[in-house]
Amino acid sequence: MVLWNLFVGFFRIGILGYGGGPTMIPLVHVEAVQKYRWMTDEEFTDVLAMGNALPGPIATKMAGYIGYKVKGAAGAAVAIAAMVIPVLIAMILLLSLIYKLKDSGIVGGMTHGVQPVIGVMMAVMAYEFFLKSWKSWIKSRTMAWTIVSLVALALLDLNPGLLIGIALAYAFTESTYLVRKKKKKQADSPDRGISA
């Protein structure tokens, strides 16, 4: 039943994820967090950050990770196949029709009509991530990273991948330091060998 749910969830994402890649992320969130509860919002945020930092299509990386988390290697294979194969088959079957209609005003109008919806979905998800970060992390850091990101992306036209890499390096360094500090504090504690 779990493998079937993985298939159905990622099949829906593959079929409904107009534009692919980043436009599928809100759909992945709905299926993985809200509908099937395979992970929490915090886990999803971590997977999204890691998926953005690694090379390759974000949606298939997330499908593979979530499938593996839920049901191991079989789950990863099912999730990736459910997302990729139906779209691939549809593209092959409809290739000649798509090629004929690529310059059609109707198709162009449909494309332009869907873009605002995708923009709103991504904006809502970004706002929700910001609120979660604001609640769970030190507020000054959240605000500082928000300002740095806006300046780097909007004003300096910095590559988003580079910014994500810098943020991951900072988070890794800080979390490693905090873990070592906590372990040192526990090791220095006089009652470390006494259990409650």
Domain ranges of the chain: 2-104
**For residue 195, how many other CB atoms are within 10 A of its CB?**
5
Contact 47, 62 (CB under 8 A): yes
Choice between 49 and 151, residue whose per-residue pLDDT is larger:
151
Q: In the prediction, which pLDDT does 39 show? A: 94
Q: In the prediction, which pLDDT does 196 show? A: 44
pLDDT at 86 > cutoff 90: no
Q: In the prediction, which pLDDT does 56 show? A: 81
pLDDT at 194 > cutoff 90: no
The pLDDT tens digits of the residues spanning 100-116 come to 777 777 767 777 777 78
Q: In the prediction, which pLDDT does 160 show? A: 85
Mean pLDDT of 162-171: 85
The pLDDT tens digits of the residues spanning 19-60 come to 667 778 889 999 999 999 999 988 898 888 788 777 888 888
Query: What's the chain's average pLDDT?
Result: 83
Q: What would the 3-class secondary structure string for the chain be?
A: CHHHHHHHHHHHHHHHCCCCHHHHHHHHHHHHHHHCCCCCHHHHHHHHHHHHHCCCCHHHHHHHHHHHHHHHHHHHHHHHHHHHHHHHHHHHHHHHHHHHHCCCHHHHHHHHHHHHHHHHHHHHHHHHHHHHHHHHCCHHHHHHHHHHHHHHHHHCCCCHHHHHHHHHHHHHHHHHHHHHHHHHHHHHCCCCCCCC
Q: In the prediction, which pLDDT does 36 show? A: 95
Q: In the prediction, which pLDDT does 192 show? A: 53
60-64, 89-93, 121-125: which is most confident:
60-64
The pLDDT tens digits of the residues spanning 127-143 come to 877 777 777 666 777 78
Contact 65, 51 (CB under 8 A): yes
